[in-house]
Amino acid sequence: MGVIDENLYPDIASMGGLISAMETVARREGLNLGGVYSQYTSGPGLFITAEVDSNRGRISVSLGGGDRTFFLGIHQPGFTWADGATGDFRVLVEAVAAWRAGMAVDEFVGKFSFVTLGRLARSLEGGDPIAAQWDFLRKSEVFVAERELIDSVYADDRFRRLFPALSHGTLRLSTDRLGAQGAREIHISPLVGGSYRVEDTASSIAKVAASLKKALAAAAESLTGN
């Protein structure tokens, strides 16, 4: 991360950097941020990023270099809850505290208009991100070329409990409810000539099926056999 122009943030610099400034404003406003920590500095000891842990991902704050901007991101592995940017430092600190306190996502974006929710944020809060992800893949115009594969797999109840994602034509079915990296996956990939490659990341064995129907059978066999 490059050096930040302190002239853009005289208030932040005067309070000893981003972490100290967030803690100072939180105390003044009666807000609870929990523990604030960081890894990146601009010059000796001047932190320009800050992170706060919450029950819904890690909250990251950073300073913009081109103009006075405070960036907010709320993430957990493989998933974005929300992100945005504002020039109002007090509002940013208030947003961090509100998210950490458990404010509902719709109330959060209603109060903090600079924030945009991640595509699955509402469904994750509601407890069913897998269904929302299937709905997205089945309706999005981006995946028209893969529609037959998506709809055929979705029509088979054995796969609806898996989190689906598409990458370079391969349908990846994850056993993690958000498709987190490293989780076991079943991959179904179309091949030239109408056949399919089926791979289970828990095994080093890949199978080639002559048809989509046989590919689904092979995928289901992998799930029940391990």
Checking if the pLDDT of 44 tops 60, the result is: no
User: Long-range pairs for 132-139 at CB < 8 Å and ≥24 separation?
Assistant: 133/163, 133/164, 133/165, 133/179, 134/160, 134/164, 137/164, 137/165, 137/166
pLDDT digits (tens, 9 = 90+) for 174-195: 999 888 888 999 999 999 999 9
Q: What is the mean pLDDT of residues 195-218?
A: 94
Residue 49 — pLDDT band, cuts 50, 70, 90? Answer: confident
Q: Give the pLDDT confidence score for residue 3 in this predicted structure.
A: 56
pLDDT > 70 in the chain, percent: 93
Residue pLDDT, tens place only, 126-163: 888 999 999 999 999 999 999 999 999 999 999 999 99
pLDDT > 80? residue 5: no
Q: Considering the entire predicted model, what is its pTM?
A: 0.78
Residues of the chain with pLDDT > 90: what percent?
72
* Residue-range domain boundaries for the chain: 6-125, 128-225
